[in-house]
Chains A and B, each alone.
Chain A
Amino acid sequence: MNSSLIIVEILVALLGLGVLLADLWLPVERRRLLGWVAAAGVAVVFFVGMKDAAEVAYAFAAPGAKTGMYVLDGLAVFFKQFFLLAALLVILMTTEYAPKLGSGVSEFYSLVLFALLGMLFAASANDLVLLFAALELITITFVVLNSFRRDQTASIEAGVKYLILGATASAFMVFGMALVFGAAGTTNFNEMAAVQKAMGGSPIFLAGLVMVLAGLFFKMSLVPFQAWAPDVYQGSPAPATAFLAVGSKAAGVVLLLRLLFGAVPEIAARWQHVLGGLAALTILYGSLCAIPQRSIKRLLGYSSIANAGYLLLGVVAMSKAGASGVLFYVSGYLFTVLAAFTVVSVILARTESDDLSSLNGLSQRSPALAGALAVAMASLAGVPPMAGFVGKFLLLKPMVPLAAADPFLACVLVAALVGVVISMYYYFGIVRAAYWGQGVADLTPIPTSWAVRVALLIGVAGILWLGILPDALIQASTPAVEVLKPQAPVAQQHSGDR
């Protein structure tokens, strides 16, 4: 057993426990320092603890097995760095939002660290059991984080909705895992890959797989499991929403990639059309429903649904190019969403309403915040030279040859392009409010703390860096997906084959 592989997870768990315990001895007025301690700890782990995975290493194997339930490979390292960076930015964002959180600030930091722990394990899950344990750790932590503002009904509502719907999704997933284990006799992804040919015709195995996918789709907020997202995004405290949008979604993405392309690539290839249809519906649903929204957080909730659809598009391509496109897109999404939510949480720390009109006059109150928001929105809309543009390009490019050969996938591609055009409208609605919003009563400048400046700087720099010089990340994400084995669907011998 090679337990030294999980050193990063152990450090993060110790950091979380340390923050939780430090709260007991620190005087109230110094508790805000804990945010800096947590951020510094995550930064140290990010820069020191992460090493490139030279080769695929397994840990926590059954005695005598070649493979284990924990895997450390390029994909795992890529996503671990992703999650650590996301948590770092979220903690920096929280230091600004802290006065609104009341007495539980240090618990908030330690819960963010525990959610990060779950995500780090999810990045390395090579077994359905570990997948479930990691996802549950993430879900339960987010239930608490979402309902953290107990003085607000909306926050309690968000927590309760996430709890009930999340528990339902988990129940489906566990049932699905039981069916998969019953049919295949294993929960390990490598062992599942060895028997997938035989399992392709087993209805019990396929039903189990569909139910596991339903649980993952819930985490990613894909249609038809998206209904929770707008309410939960709107009600939760802004830093929790940001972490939910980036971290929880990315955990779903990495598990989806591992399950579909690591464990059952042949079956995944047969489901190309179903997944493509879901991606198109998700993009259109998210984009169309975002148009009439007035609440910033709700709008970003619908935008996150649409973005989940784009991420699924990279899976539909059933190729390594698509998978590495997913990695690039989700990285760009990290910087973009965290920059946007940092601005939103600074504004929400001053006002209760998150209506679009609260952005009015932002360009005069704080040019830096308005500029960062504009860059983030342009990136979400996919305007060059932002990260979002390159990301969408990399996701759509592998779809083009497929669409040329397959009319259904051509429709999916068209839906994705229509979604991009629609999204321009509502993203620039936010920019318009920030720069040209009318009827501003209060033009006092908004001061920004160092933490916010650092978080915004990282976010904007990341957006521009990925947009202008995407090569570095493309070169990092290409070897990361080497462990995945997506299979192109067999040429369709039956016409009208689903």
Chain B
Amino acid sequence: MPQPTDLLFYAFAGLTLLFGFLCVANPLSRNPVTSAMFLVLTIVSMAGLFVLLNAFFLAAVQILVYAGAVMVLFLFVIMLLDLREEERRKLNRVALGLGGVAIAGLAGILVRALASATPKSASVPAVEGTTIELGRILFRSYLLPFEIVSVLLLVAMVGVILLSKKELK
């Protein structure tokens, strides 16, 4: 009798794979914006997988940062570059072959790693990435780097405004 979480895992994993496939090889549309939208769905389904691993914070960050901020950036780039010719592009045999080799290699490594792993570690302590724990580490042990990074973001902001200002004088 499978647990309900197992069912959810297969559902989210299947959705991740499906959306991932549709993102790179959509048979209905070759529009880059459609691909980007499927990438959003892939990321959201992966966030579901993180929730099943009890990594709630990671799931929230995944949606906020990747599905939110990074995807907006992607869409900006796609729309700025106006990739019309991308829709007409023919498949490149060499690239296809190299891609196949890369996939085969990665799959080989994965299968090997899974086969050599001994599945006895059922009693692994559950790593719970709760926000409380993370916040405690961030604001106690790693307070100083955290503050330095905030200065870094300020510098980056000042730099971007300076370098993109219209008038030079």
Q: Residues on A close to B: CB < 8 A?
A: 6, 13, 20, 59-63, 69-70, 102-104, 107, 110-111, 114, 117-118, 121, 129-130, 132-134, 136-137, 140-141, 143-144, 147-148, 150-151, 159
Contacts and interface: CB of A to CB of B under 8 A. Distances in A.
Contacts of B143: 60
Contact of B159 (A103, A129, A134, A143): A143
Contacts of A118: 148
A136 B149 CA distance: 8
Interface string B137-169: 000111111001101101110110011010111
A397 B51 CA distance: 61
B155 A111 contact: yes
A137 B144 contact: no
B159 A144 contact: yes
The 8 closest A-B pairs by CB, nearest first: A144-B159, A133-B145, A133-B148, A62-B141, A60-B144, A137-B152, A129-B145, A114-B155
B144 A136 contact: no
A419 B44 CA distance: 59
A62 B152 contact: no
A107 B145 contact: no
Contacts of B141: 60-63, 69
Contacts, number: 75
Given A60-B141, A104-B162, A107-B162, A151 B168 contact: yes
B150 to A, nearest CB: 10
Nearest to B152: A137
B156 A140 contact: yes
Q: How large is the interface on B (under 10, 10 to 19, 20 to 34, 35 or more residues)?
A: 20 to 34
28 contacts: A6-B144, A60-B144, A61-B141, A62-B140, A62-B141, A69-B145, A102-B168, A102-B169, A103-B165, A103-B167, A103-B169, A104-B162, A107-B158, A107-B162, A111-B159, A114-B154, A117-B148, A117-B151, A118-B148, A129-B142, A130-B148, A133-B144, A133-B149, A140-B155, A141-B155, A141-B159, A143-B159, A159-B163
A219 to B, nearest CB: 16
A62 B168 CA distance: 47
A147 B165 CA distance: 13
Nearest to A59: B144
B145 A144 contact: no
A289 to B, nearest CB: 30
Contacts of B154: 114
A134 B151 contact: no
B148 A134 contact: yes
A321 B122 CA distance: 54
A400 B113 CA distance: 51
A63 B163 contact: no
B144 A144 contact: no
B145 A130 contact: yes
Contact of A121 (B148, B158, B167): B148
Contacts of B165: 103-104
Contacts of A13: 151
B110 to A, nearest CB: 19
Contacts of B169: 102-103
Contacts of A60: 141, 143-144
A254 to B, nearest CB: 16
Contacts of B144: 6, 59-60, 69-70, 121, 130, 133
Contacts of A69: 141-142, 144-145
Contacts of A61: 141
A145 to B, nearest CB: 9
A70 B143 CA distance: 11
Contacts of B151: 13, 114, 117, 137
A63 B159 CA distance: 36
Interface string B88-127: 0000000000000000000000000000000000000000
Nearest to B153: A140
A8 to B, nearest CB: 14
B40 to A, nearest CB: 26
Given A133-B148, A140-B156, 11 more contacts: A60-B141, A62-B141, A69-B141, A102-B169, A110-B158, A114-B155, A118-B148, A121-B148, A133-B152, A137-B152, A150-B163
B140 A144 contact: no
A132 B142 CA distance: 12
Nearest to B149: A133
A465 to B, nearest CB: 34
Interface string B22-34: 0000000000000
Contacts of A150: 163, 168
A144 B165 CA distance: 13
B7 to A, nearest CB: 34
Contacts of A133: 144-145, 148-149, 152
Nearest to B160: A144
B159 to A, nearest CB: 3
B145 to A, nearest CB: 4
Contacts of B149: 133, 136
A205 B5 CA distance: 38
A5 to B, nearest CB: 10
Contacts of A6: 144
A144 B158 contact: yes
